[in-house]
Structure 1
Amino acid sequence: MTWLTEEQQATWRAFLQATTLLDDHLDRQLQRDAGIPHMYYALLSTLSETPGRSMRMTELAERAKITRSRLSHAVSRLEGHGWVRREDCPTDRRGQVCVLTDAGYAELVRTAPGHVAAVRGAVFDRLTPEQTRQLGEISRVIAEGLHSSDGADVPWLR
Structure 2
Amino acid sequence: MPIIPSPLGNILINTQEEMISELRFTEESVSPEVLEAVVLKAQEQLEEYFSGKRKVFNLPLAISGTAFQQRVWTAVNTIPFGETTSYLKLSQTLGNPAAIRAVGAAIGANPILVIIPCHRIIGTNGQLTGYAGGLGRKEKLLELEGRPRQAKQASLDF
Question: Structure 2-normalised TM-score?
Answer: 0.29
Higher helix share: 1
* Bigger-Rg structure (1/2): 1
